[in-house]
Amino acid sequence: EVTTIKVEGGTYVSSLTLGEDDDVLISIKKEGFAFNSTYISANDTSFDSPTRLNIEMQNLEEGRSFNIENIYFDNNSFEVKEMAKQVLIEFSDYLNVNKTLVIEINGFTDNVGDINDNQLLSENMTEELQEHWKKYLHFIPIKTDELNN
């Protein structure tokens, strides 16, 4: 189930009644501002009672980059987690609002394991994200020769 709350700016209060196993993904999509998403797991005990969540908005500026949070993979895997797929869908909606952005896809691994295996895993993560984005962002060309791995 998706609950949408439209906010024009400033401070607001929202309340959701959740089931015991419900996760929450909050995403903010506003023209001229960086995409922002916050994932809250049902297992996160810091949100067991009413909690304040401050979300800082970053102005878009030419030449300045921002990261998309909450794109996770299982350890030693390049398969995109289900929750991360939802972030990709939300980001595609964001790109409909901010159509002039240039996208660079990077895959990063930790430093555990063989460096060559990690490089291959990083490349596979990047390719996997590109394939998912092709599903959601069919209107945006992605140049594979410009990907950084």
Q: How confident is the model at residue 103 (pLDDT cuts 50, 70, 90)?
A: confident
Residue 147 near residue 130, CB atoms below 8 Å: yes
For the residues of 94-128, what is the DSSP string, one character each? HHHHSTT----------S-S-HHHHHHHHHHHHHH
The answer to whether residue 3 scores a pLDDT higher than 90 is: no
Q: Which residues contact 104 (CB under 8 A, 6 or more apart)?
A: 65, 146, 147, 148
Q: Using DSSP, state whether 82 is helix, strand or coil.
A: helix
Instruction: Give the residue-averaged pLDDT of 12-30.
Output: 80
Please state the rounded mean pLDDT for residues 135-147: 53
pLDDT at 85: 86
